[in-house]
Amino acid sequence: MDILESLDLIHELTAKRDRIVKELKTITDMAPGDITTGHKVRGGNLTVALAKLDEQIAKARAFGGGTEGVDIEHGDGARGDKGGAPVKGASTVREGARQWANAAAGQLVKAAKERGLKAVAAGSFDAPNLVRVGTFPMPANPARLLDLLIDRQPIAGNEFEYLKQTTRTDNAAAVADSATKPTSVYTLTSISDRARVYAHLSEAIPERILQDHGDIADFLEMEMSRGVIDALEADIVSGAVSQENVVGILNTSGVGTTAYATSIATTLRKAFTASQVAKESPTAWAINPADAESLDLLTTADGEYVIDGGAFQNIFKGLPVVVSTSVPTGKAILADWRMSRLFVRQDMVLDFDRSGTLFTKNQIQARCEGRFGFALTRPAAFRVINTA
């Protein structure tokens, strides 16, 4: 390759580099909340491509010898905009511009890394706000079990501690002058626990799929995050003490129970009465889809659907009803969900890897995981109902 070919190559590579820098800047200038996983994947690929182009441009310049002072934009030496004689000091100006461009590109790469636009080769992308932390109002129309857990506490380490109420005896009464006031008993027990890892892998897929279809990353994030949340919700209801999971409502001591009586509708109404008698203030129901179907299909003696007459208002009392497969068939839960707490050590993270055998096959594999803990701070506020 002679000097002219080297100049042509530099011109071509630089033009390509400028396009990449422009596209990368578009992504890094976006508001953090607007950056999807697809943007992150694309930004990661652009960052890698930019680094490779810098290497290629450096090699081309080294081959061309004195090409550092060549006007790359016009490709024919240090000339003005319309050619002709060299412009005095143009080489210095161009060198300064080149250094500025390199510095700008470096800042873009730095910004890309700070925003999580890492290379797909071994990247880790956050999926923020899927399990947001803090205490906030329950949604007006909760769509899933996780929406009922309004108390979500971030934890700095794997271990956490909370207070669990085991006794609530109200002995308040009218008291005569100088008489001893009665004592109520509210026993709290300190409980130590740890966060659990909920995770799964995707199948290995050709890396070109991610490169050619930016929305695949968003698809994987959505599907795999849903899978993790489904597993977490199932354990929040049914997690057993002897397993590597959070301990669920069904297996927590002190939770109230209501036996089946005559029909699903009758049983649910009796459960609400039991909560009233226990001086609880439930905030929502959680029932299995099969039980929800049975309620919806109940008919009167005339064959009319009971639900059309609003009869279920007398059962649910206007409280939100979440229909979830996390609740086993034959069970329902009525609870003051404010008396539970979700501990979040790590929100959802989507990792990509193509090392080892994957590298030899040009494949990539995703892993989605989060770290969570769960506790009932007052088990008596929860009631498990047998609907069959």
Judgement on whether residues 112 and 129 belong to the same structural domain of the protein: no
Judgement on whether residues 24 and 110 belong to the same structural domain of the protein: yes
Q: Cα–Cα–Cα angle for 281, 286, 288, nearest 5°?
A: 155
Judgement on whether residues 277 and 153 belong to the same structural domain of the protein: yes
**pLDDT of 249:** 97
DSSP-derived secondary structure letter, 146: G
Q: What is the 3-state secondary structure (H, E, C) of the chain?
A: CCHHHHHHHHHHHHHHHHHHHHHHHHHHCCCHHHCCHHHHHHHHHHHHHHHHHHHHHHHHHHHHCHHHHCCCCCCCCCEECCEEEECCCHHHHHHHHHHHHHHHHHHHHHHHHHCCCCCHHHCEEECCCCCCCEECCCCCCCCCHHHHCCEEEECCCCEEEEEEEEEEECCCCCCCCCCCCCCCEEEEEEEEEECEEEEEECCCEEHHHHHHCCHHHHHHHHHHHHHHHHHHHHHHHHCCCCCCCCCCHHHCCCCEEECCCCCHHHHHHHHHHHHHHCCCCCCEEEECHHHHHHHHCCECCCCCEHHHHCCCHHHHCCCCEEECCCCCCCEEEEECHHHEEEEEEEEEEEEEECCCHHHHCCEEEEEEEEEEEEEECCHHHEEEEECC
Residue ending a domain, among 118, 135, 153, is: 118
Judgement on whether residues 284 and 207 belong to the same structural domain of the protein: yes
**pLDDT of 110:** 55
Q: Are strands 363-376 and 340-353 parallel, antiparallel or unpaired?
A: antiparallel
Judgement on whether residues 57 and 139 belong to the same structural domain of the protein: no
Judgement on whether residues 315 and 181 belong to the same structural domain of the protein: yes
Judgement on whether residues 128 and 114 belong to the same structural domain of the protein: no
| Count of domains forming the chain | 2
**pLDDT of 182:** 94
Kindly give the parts of the chain with pLDDT less than 70.
1-9, 31-41, 44-45, 61-132, 307-311
C-alpha torsion 69→75→80→81, nearest 10:
-140
Judgement on whether residues 19 and 107 belong to the same structural domain of the protein: yes
* Domain housing 272: 122-388
Q: Tell me, what CATH number does 359's domain have?
A: 3.30.2400.10
**pLDDT of 343:** 96
**pLDDT of 207:** 87
The whole-angstrom separation of Cα 145 and Cα 236 is 9
Residue ending a domain, among 96, 118, 140, is: 118
Judgement on whether residues 354 and 225 belong to the same structural domain of the protein: yes
Residue ending a domain, among 118, 139, 163, is: 118
**pLDDT of 105:** 54
Judgement on whether residues 285 and 179 belong to the same structural domain of the protein: yes
**pLDDT of 332:** 97
What is the dihedral sign for C-alpha 223, 224, 225, 226? Answer: positive
Cβ neighbours for 28, distance < 8 A, ≥ 6 positions apart: 43, 108, 111, 112, 115, 117
Single-letter amino acid code for the residue at 295 = L
Judgement on whether residues 377 and 277 belong to the same structural domain of the protein: yes
CA-closest candidate to residue 340, choices 296, 282, 385, 287: 282
**pLDDT of 297:** 85
Judgement on whether residues 223 and 362 belong to the same structural domain of the protein: yes
